[in-house]
Structure 1
Amino acid sequence: MQNMRSSHIHNKYTRLLILTCLVLSGLICNLQAQIISPAGKLISNATMDAFLKKQMDSLQLPGLSIAFINKGKVVYHRALGIKDIKTKEPVNEQSIFEAASLSKPIFAYWVLKMTDRGLLSLDTPLYKYLPYPDIAQDERYKLITARMVLSHQSGLPNWRFFPADSALHVKQDELYLKFKPGTSFFYSGEGFLYLSQVIAHLLNRSLQNIEPVFEKEVTVPLHMAHSSFTANPYILKHKVSGHQEGHVDPVNGPNWPVLPSLQIDSNTFNPAATLHTNALDYAAFIIALMKDKGLSRKSIQEMFRPQLTAPLAEDFRKAGYSTWGLGIAIAQSPVGTFYLHSGNNGNFQSGFLMDKTRQSGYVFFTNCDHGNTFNEKLMAFLALK
């Protein structure tokens, strides 16, 4: 009996010792945790913390949600700053940002899932599924396909409400074609909007009630619990405020008025601009892309291969982009091929970059109009520029 009791005590303390070792091991790993940039640069968590603090201070970023991925896993995540410059309420892990044009890659992913199901073809003219009265005055629109939309070769402008194009003799708010579809590149949110209307039609839905289908087919299987194109109670409760710099006071620095987002209707699914999310949720999507999750091999190849039949626009080339896939930009660098996208809703800016081969990358969201500058400094810090 005594031997049994001694054995029991011995086993109890052995388990406790093992548990303690595991805990200590975890702590040591955390202390030694580091990020490996897509260029192979090793960065400790402490060094990244210091870099982010410096950038938030120097660029006057109100809030930031950021995550880094190594070997297909999130290895670093921070939710920093404040939700609103007036209330000073801190950003936290539940905080939600506007993804702006980071909406486009995840919509493209959904479109490819539907091509896998045979719901539509990438190369069937969209008008055969759904005519588009807004551009029906130009018969050339009947050439537009899903492939052209996802690779920005539709000929449609970015947004019809932008200033008029005097060279083409069009008015503001008038939808028009800048060129014959399929013959050139022009970044277009309007093209994505047309494609989303086609998708809604094929699903017997509208842009006001298509969200549940998107959730079922994309955000739920990818474990993006708090990402949505349209408003819901969680989004409304946790969304941060967007800020756009006004005048700069020489003593107090930038004036940051809180502005409503440009042309954002929270009740309408807009595939080009209205995704609401944060870095952890969006990192789950990037990891799915890295691991070829949810798409056929054919769709994966189509998404990541160069699609352009004409040169990329000069402003994109200057930014380091090389060409475009389906819903995602491609950049060639001395250290490899990167897939990337940026977003800009005016008072929200964001960006991501991934190295699919090394399963490495990052994603961030800001609630101001200095996010693009932050991205440039981040890429330089990561030795990517």
Structure 2
Amino acid sequence: MTIVMGRRQLCKFGMAAAVLPVLPACVTRYSESRTPTEGQVNFIEAKMAEHRIPGAGLAFVEEGKLAWERGFGVKNSETGDPVSTQTLFQAASLSKPLFAYVVMQAIDREEIGLDDRLTKFVRPTDLKPHHWSEQITVRDVLQHTTGLPNWRDDKDGPEPLVPAFEPGTGSTYSGEAYHWLQRVMEKITGLGLDAMIRERLFVPAGLEDMRMLWEPERDSREVYGHIVNDQDALVVDNLQFIREQGPRLVEVAKRWGRPMRMWTAEDHEKAVAEMRPHEHARLKDRPAWRWGRPGAFIIDSASSLRCTAGDYARFLCLMMPGRDRADWELTEQKRQAMLTPQFEQDIEGGRLPRTFGWGLEKRQNGVAYYHWGKNGRSHISVALGDPVTQKGIVVMTNGPNGNAFIKDVVTSLMDKNYIGITS
């Protein structure tokens, strides 16, 4: 079945009704009746019980196309609401490859260059004056060689943003760097993050259920995070951060008459300064300035994607070789660049190749691409694609033992060991 948006759906996203997108082959499924085997279902459910996973969304790719998607378990262990193929998960850091894809589109369009320095476009107000800060490029951000931290600790008050080493000479995984590049892209395109990615990727690819933010009208479809309490019981976490922070920002959006889906990072920063104070015991004592830090943003290129496992698998397919490409997609040169090692980091037991947006694993006949995601203690996901076998998998969970569950499931369903998954 090919997913085609109707005119009403196009108008919903602000596109001309007469312009119908040509969707890529990756959104084609084999058949509506295609499902995992009974043995696979039994194995997944057994592993969920073993690792105490409340709910999971899985999607599997074969021959470079989505083969099947399925929900397991529950969104919320208290209500028993089941996970379905329409259930939304926090994709967390799986946001990064998706954002990197849109940045590479902009490079294809010559709107920005890989070796352009970020300070040429945007200079964060808390960027510490340093010659290394001036050297950070788009390339450094996408391959994690900026020297910037993942997120600043701020234990003793606001910390300035400063690289730990000369950019390009080492590797530090950095959400801060991705957030800075988000601000650069917003300035170049004149669009907020969600509007930008909707226009350039979600709509043309038929991934219309993806969002780069939480929205109240979709909340009933989103999973709840779970933890293991002091009595060793698996329970719903009493702090669902997005459900505390999101409504406060929606209130500001209504006062402004500007919906959150249109916000830039600058809008978000101004909004948190106006939102009503937190009352939750785990949030109310945090200083107000912290809500303006990139690590607390709920519209963020590094961490805020909400989607189904099936839609992320469709995005995963965009990286697969050997198919016709639509005009809006990356050129073949840029697609290959995203699957080519750009920087290799020495790690225990070998070297870790990094590329633009993805982690890579060198295989006998090529590379596999993958990314992990984790928001808080219980929103844990992974996406893995293998261009050689034309297979891929997406697993999204809402429990604290997601890592162990994911390792077992991916290894079994892919029928191969991937160091990036098992290590």
TM-score range, shorter-chain basis?
0.7 to 0.9
Confirm or deny that 1:257 pairs with 2:291: no
How far residue 129 of structure 1 moved from its aligned partner, in angstroms, is 1.5
Aligned to 1:185: 171
1-side partners of 2:301 and 2:411: how far apart? 30
| Contact 1:158 1:188 (8 Å CA) reproduced | yes
> Structure 1 residues 227 and 321 mapped into 2: Cα distance closer, same or farther (>3 Å)?
farther
Aligned to 1:142: 134
2-side partners of 1:109 and 1:263: how far apart? 29
The CA RMSD over aligned residues, in Å, is 2.7
1:52 alignment partner, SS class: helix
> Structure 1 residues 262 and 248 mapped into 2: Cα distance closer, same or farther (>3 Å)?
farther
| Contact 2:225 2:240 (8 Å CA) reproduced | yes
2-side partners of 1:132 and 1:307: how far apart? 26
Residues 198-229 of structure 1: CA deviation (Å, up to 9, x unaligned): 00111224xxx332221011011111121101
1:244 alignment partner, SS class: strand
Aligned to 1:108: 100
Amino acid at match of 1:148: D
Aligned to 1:303: 338
Confirm or deny that 1:271 pairs with 2:301: yes
Amino acid at match of 1:158: N
Compare 341-350 and 373-382 and name the one that shifted more: 373-382
Q: Which has the larger radius of gyration?
A: 1
What's the TM-score, normalizing by structure 1?
0.79
Aligned to 2:123: 131
How far residue 334 of structure 1 moved from its aligned partner, in angstroms, is 4.7
Amino acid at match of 2:196: V
How far residue 71 of structure 1 moved from its aligned partner, in angstroms, is 0.1
1-side partners of 2:160 and 2:243: how far apart? 15
Amino acid at match of 1:212: A
* Identity level (%): 29
Equivalent position to 2:212, from 226, 229, 232: 229
| Contact 2:193 2:212 (8 Å CA) reproduced | no
2-side partners of 1:153 and 1:327: how far apart? 12
Aligned to 2:266: none
1:82 alignment partner, SS class: strand
Equivalent position to 2:314, from 277, 284, 300: 284
Q: How many residues align?
A: 331
Confirm or deny that 1:338 pairs with 2:368: yes
2-side partners of 1:349 and 1:172: how far apart? 28
| Contact 2:179 2:301 (8 Å CA) reproduced | yes
Equivalent position to 1:196, from 182, 188, 197: 182
> Structure 1 residues 335 and 75 mapped into 2: Cα distance closer, same or farther (>3 Å)?
same
Equivalent position to 2:392, from 361, 368, 384: 361
Equivalent position to 2:38, from 46, 50, 64: 46
Aligned to 1:329: 359
What's the TM-score, normalizing by structure 2?
0.72
Residues 342-374 of structure 1: CA deviation (Å, up to 9, x unaligned): 001122000011111332110011112222111
Map 1:26-65 onto structure 2 (within 5 A).
Answer: 45-65=37-57
> Structure 1 residues 372 and 162 mapped into 2: Cα distance closer, same or farther (>3 Å)?
farther
